[in-house]
Structure 1
Amino acid sequence: MTTAATSTTAAAAVPFRFFDVHVVRTRLLGRSMVRITFGGAGLTDFASGGRDQRFKLFLPHPGQDAPVVPTEAGEDWFPQWRALDPATRGIMRSYTVRAQRRTDGGAEVDVDFALHGADATGHTSSGPAARWAARAGAGDRAVLLGPVEPDNAGVDFRPPAGTDWVLLTGDETALPAVAGILEALPDGTDARVWIEVPHPEDIQQLDTGAQAEITWLVRDGADGPRTGLIPDAVRAARLPDGTGYAWIAGEAGTVRALRRHLVGDRGFDRKAITFTGYWRKGATEEQLVEEALSGTGPADD
């Protein structure tokens, strides 16, 4: 997931660390997503806070054995990374931790990648991260920049005190985060969930102890990756009484439209909405990264 815009209340920043990892295995999840399991002895110190825990992932360019990242630079890693030739420096993206577990050899982290049409035959219309994921195999190397404390600024899902129910929406890029949030919700939590995916085969079984109404919206045959399916479905829905908290993510324009509806038509407190644009129609992954680096991305409403 590439973060184009975000607004949230998060924990104070805590130390993050670089982790050298390798691909342990891959597994297709439907037609549009692949789960890649990363391993590495150092991952025993990786401390995911669950929910929508995000981290930085650095990938190699074609022809490189490992991504070029200034891992020894400490807090100065970012300016040093940015000063490198974009054609050489590691490809940096933000992703969500889908699962984490200890193993006899250390630890493993699962990450679900939306493929955006990429495949192992060399499809080139998607971004470099999706192309890498589509071709990834056991032993391929990468670098994670992740937390060493579970309560960290990479977790955005934080319902305020007094929340009576939860609203979650996302497309396939946000599906891993939605799944993680649902798993973490306390038993019996009242939740309304809308998830948009490209194809019927992309619908997943999501585990939760919440009282969650999950609506899958399939855009199979729709014109392009951005549709009004989620905003239209939420506008037409009868929402629970009481104080709601909304977590909405996906395509930036769709997220903004839904946030305007929740605030303007549904009376949501702006502070009770966490919204994140993971991508934007008409913009490449590289454009979004450069906008984020330069601070020139579109302003949030």
Structure 2
Amino acid sequence: MTTPDTPSAAPYRFFDAHVVGVRPLGRSMVRITFGGPRLTGFASGGRDQRFKLFLPHPGQDTPLVPVEAGEDWFATWRTMDPAERGVMRSYTVRAQRTTAGGSTEVDVDFALHGTRTGDGTGRAKSGPAARWAAGARPGDRAILLGPTAPDNLGVDFRPPAGTEWVLLTADETALPAVAGILESLPERTRARVWIEVPDPEDIQTLATSADAEITWLVRSASPTADRHLTLDAVRAAQLPAGTPYAWIAGESGTVRALRRHLVGDRGFDRAAIMFTGYWRRGATEEQLVEEAVSGTGAAED
């Protein structure tokens, strides 16, 4: 199987949007649907398409974003008061569609880590994005910074030519991306998938035409609150023969350990592994954003 391996530097632009629907997904996730006439032109590439989402602070009607700054928006955003500038996070497009009326809607699944006690994430407290999602209502406003062409640099899942099977791992923060990837896989593509979630109610039915073996790992079912559920499961697995491509995402420490295992113990080609730390145990959302802004984040090995 192959996917486009030469993404274009497609232009991104800001899209004003508002919440048109909210639907719980188990105990730990919620699906928020964004809509609005100004979303026309937003072009998701599917799979693990990421984009920037800007949210307002409590008391603000809409997020403050330097849209007029053009390509220099990030430098301008950095100079703004953190208590006033829009809360910026990266999210995955779970689905995009055109309504009967011709408008665009975008579904985004939010992990509500830290908004409930005992959620098992290892976060000391929830960040503003999780709190916003937990209380989102139709009409709430947001701004999306997204692509205007489907083949863009915000899509990372790109198996090279010659790939014979796919390995996917995720926790609840990367579950929307894995769901999109599974939907995109060609019929009969072999896939081994491990997804870790906090609670049995968080298990979802995932659509795919692939020959996918999906294993759900539930943290609340582990008597020792094991932090290594995914790593231990992959280590114990008998993997298919043939040339693999791995996409692994979730908590940074787990992702690094999985990559070391696949390269060092399983003999995976480093170039055939896409790995991304979506969060880090013990760190808040705000700490991670500050590290990213200042360039002091820990490098992946």
Q: Residues 228-249 of structure 1: CA distance to partner in whole angstroms, max 9, x if unpaired?
A: 0001000000001010000000
Which residue number corresponds to residue 27 of structure 2? Answer: 31
Say whether residues 1:17 and 2:13 are aligned partners: yes
Say whether residues 1:52 and 2:54 are aligned partners: no
Change (3 A) 1:45 1:92: same
Aligned residues: 289
Distance 2:125 2:15 in 1: 30
Structure 2 SS opposite 1:256: helix
Which residue number corresponds to residue 229 of structure 1? Answer: 229
Q: Which amino acid aligns with 1:271?
A: A
TM-score, normalised via structure 1 length: 0.93
The answer (yes or no) to whether the contact 2:14–2:145 under 8 Å persists in 1 is yes
Q: Which amino acid aligns with 1:49?
A: G
The answer (yes or no) to whether the contact 1:127–1:285 under 8 Å persists in 2 is yes
Counterpart selection for 1:99 from 95, 108, 118 = 95
Distance 1:269 1:117 in 2: 36
The CA deviation at 1:51 is 0.1
Q: Residues 151-204 of structure 1: CA distance to partner in whole angstroms, max 9, x if unpaired?
A: 000000000110000000000000000000000000110000000000000000
**Superposed counterparts of 1:257-296, under 5 Å:** 257-296=257-296
CA RMSD of aligned residues (A): 1.5
Which residue number corresponds to residue 198 of structure 2? Answer: 198
Q: Which runs of 4+ in 1 moved over 6 A?
A: 223-226
Q: Residues 239-268 of structure 1: CA distance to partner in whole angstroms, max 9, x if unpaired?
A: 010100000000000000000000000000
Say whether residues 1:162 and 2:158 are aligned partners: no
Which residue number corresponds to residue 85 of structure 1? Answer: 81
Structure 1 SS opposite 2:40: helix
The answer (yes or no) to whether the contact 1:184–1:208 under 8 Å persists in 2 is yes
Which residue number corresponds to residue 149 of structure 2? Answer: 149
Which residue number corresponds to residue 69 of structure 2? Answer: 73
Q: Which amino acid aligns with 2:88?
A: M
Distance 1:285 1:226 in 2: 22
Which residue number corresponds to residue 250 of structure 2? Answer: 250
Percent of matched pairs sharing the same residue: 76
The CA deviation at 1:12 is 3.6
In structure 2, the gaps of 5 or more residues are: 117-123
Which residue number corresponds to residue 116 of structure 1? Answer: 113
Structure 2 SS opposite 1:34: strand
The CA deviation at 1:10 is 6.7
| Structure with bigger RCO (C-alpha 8 Å, 6+ apart) | 1
TM-score, normalised via structure 2 length: 0.93
The answer (yes or no) to whether the contact 2:28–2:112 under 8 Å persists in 1 is yes
The answer (yes or no) to whether the contact 1:10–1:158 under 8 Å persists in 2 is no
Q: Which amino acid aligns with 1:44?
A: T
**Superposed counterparts of 1:161-180, under 5 Å:** 161-180=161-180
Range with greater deviation from structure 2 (45-54 or 35-44): 35-44
The CA deviation at 1:72 is 1.6
Which residue number corresponds to residue 138 of structure 2? Answer: 138
Distance 2:212 2:39 in 1: 32
In structure 1, the gaps of 5 or more residues are: 1-8
